Chain A
Amino acid sequence: MSSLNPAAAGPLVGAPATDNYLTHSRGFWSWAATLDHKRIGVMYLVGIFTMFLVGGLFAVLLRSVLLTPDAAAGGVKTIVDANMYNRFFTLHGAVMVFIVIIPGIPAALGNFVLPLMLGAKDVAFPRLNLCSFYLWLIGTGMALSSLYWGGVDTGWTFYTPYSTKVGSSGAFGGVVPVVAGAFVLGFSSIFTGLNFIVTIHKLRPPGMTWFRMPLFLWGTYATAVIQVLATPVLGITLLLLLAERLLGIGFFDSELGGDPVLFQHFFWFYSHPAVYIMILPAMGVMSELISVFSHKHIFGYKFIAFSSVAIAILGFLVWGHHMFTSGQSELLGVIFSAITFSIAIPSAVKMFNWLTTLYKGSIDFKAPMCYALSFMWIFGIGGLTGLFLGMMGLDQHLHDTYFVVAHFHYVMAGTIFVFFGAIHYWWPKMTGRMYDEGSAVLASILMFIGFNLTFFVQFMMGTRGMPRRYYEYRPEFQMGHVISSIGSYVMLAAVLLLIYTMIRSLRSGRPAPANPWGAGSMEWQCASPPPHDNFKTPPPVVDAYDYESLEWDERVGGYVHRGRRGGPAAAH
Chain B
Amino acid sequence: MMFAALVPTDPGGGSDGDSESRRRGSIGALGMVLLLASLSVLFASGIALFIVVRLADGDAWDPLPLPKSIWIATGVLLASSTTGMAAAFGAKRGPSAVLIGGLLLTALLGCVFLALQWQNWQELYPHFQKAEERAMERARALAVEMNLEPPLRAIPRAFGIFYMLTALHAAHVIAGVVPLLWVTVRAMLGAYRGTTGDGVRRVIVYWHFLDVMWLILLGLLAISAT
Is A125 a contact of B8 with CB atoms below 8 Å?
yes
The closest CB in chain A to the CB of B56 belongs to A259
Is A124 a contact of B49 with CB atoms below 8 Å?
no
Q: Nearest chain B CB to A425's CB is how many angstroms away?
A: 25
Q: Nearest chain A CB to B29's CB is how many angstroms away?
A: 9
- The residues in A between 117 and 141 inclusive whose CB is less than 8 angstroms from any CB of B are 120-128, 130-131
Is A198 a contact of B46 with CB atoms below 8 Å?
no
A-B contact count (CB 8 A): 137
Interface: B157 (CB within 8 A): yes
Residues of A contacting B161 with CB < 8 Å? Answer: 251
Q: Nearest chain A CB to B142's CB is how many angstroms away?
A: 6
Interface: A250 (CB within 8 A): yes
Chain-B contact segment, one of A150-158, A235-243, A495-503: A235-243
Q: How far is the CA of A248 from the CA of B9 in the complex (A)?
A: 45
User: Mostly helix, strand, loop or mixed at chain A's interface?
Assistant: helix
Q: How far is the CA of A393 from the CA of B60 in the complex (A)?
A: 36
Q: How far is the CA of A251 from the CA of B53 in the complex (A)?
A: 8
- The residues in A between 237 and 290 inclusive whose CB is less than 8 angstroms from any CB of B are 237, 239-240, 243, 247-251, 253, 255-259, 262, 266, 269
Residues of A contacting B53 with CB < 8 Å? Answer: 251, 262
Is A243 a contact of B164 with CB atoms below 8 Å?
yes
Known contacts A123-B9, A229-B37: does B155 contact A248 (CB below 8 Å)? yes
Is B31 a contact of A228 with CB atoms below 8 Å?
no
Interface: B154 (CB within 8 A): yes
Chain-A contact segment, one of B76-84, B145-153, B205-213: B145-153
Interface: A231 (CB within 8 A): yes
Q: Which of B4, B26, B142, B155 contacts A247 (CB 8 A)?
A: B155
Residues of A contacting B5 with CB < 8 Å? Answer: 125, 127-128, 130-131, 191
Is B164 a contact of A229 with CB atoms below 8 Å?
no
The 8 A CB mask of A221-237 against B (1 = contact, 0 = none) is: 00000001111110111
Is A229 a contact of B38 with CB atoms below 8 Å?
yes
Interface: A194 (CB within 8 A): yes
- The residues in A between 41 and 56 inclusive whose CB is less than 8 angstroms from any CB of B are none
Q: Which of A191, A259, A533 contacts B12 (CB 8 A)?
A: A533
The 8 A CB mask of A202-215 against B (1 = contact, 0 = none) is: 11000000000000
- The residues in B between 130 and 158 inclusive whose CB is less than 8 angstroms from any CB of A are 135, 138-139, 142-143, 148, 151-157
Q: Nearest chain A CB to B207's CB is how many angstroms away?
A: 19
Interface: B6 (CB within 8 A): yes
Q: Which of A124, A235, A248 contacts B152 (CB 8 A)?
A: A248
Q: Nearest chain A CB to B119's CB is how many angstroms away?
A: 21
Q: Which of A126, A255, A533 contacts B142 (CB 8 A)?
A: A255
Q: Nearest chain A CB to B202's CB is how many angstroms away?
A: 12
Known contacts A198-B34, A232-B42: does B6 contact A250 (CB below 8 Å)? no
Q: How far is the CA of A130 from the CA of B151 in the complex (A)?
A: 44
Residues of A contacting B52 with CB < 8 Å? Answer: 262
Is A198 a contact of B31 with CB atoms below 8 Å?
yes
Interface: B126 (CB within 8 A): no
Is A247 a contact of B153 with CB atoms below 8 Å?
yes
Residues of B contacting A26 with CB < 8 Å? Answer: none
Residues of A contacting B37 with CB < 8 Å? Answer: 228-229
Q: Nearest chain A CB to B96's CB is how many angstroms away?
A: 28
Instruction: List 15 A–B pairs whose Cβ atoms lie within 8 Å, in order of A's numbering.
Output: A124-B27, A125-B5, A127-B7, A197-B30, A231-B38, A232-B38, A232-B42, A233-B42, A247-B155, A247-B160, A250-B154, A251-B161, A255-B148, A255-B151, A256-B135
Besides A228-B34, A258-B157, 5 other A-B contacts (C-beta < 8 A): A125-B5, A131-B5, A191-B5, A233-B42, A256-B157
Across the A-B interface, give the 9 residue pairs with the lowest CB-CB distance, nearest first.
Answer: A249-B160, A248-B153, A232-B42, A128-B5, A249-B155, A127-B5, A232-B41, A122-B9, A233-B45
A interface list, Cβ under 8 A from B: 120-128, 130-131, 190-191, 194-195, 197-198, 201-203, 228-233, 235-237, 239-240, 243, 247-251, 253, 255-259, 262, 266, 269, 533
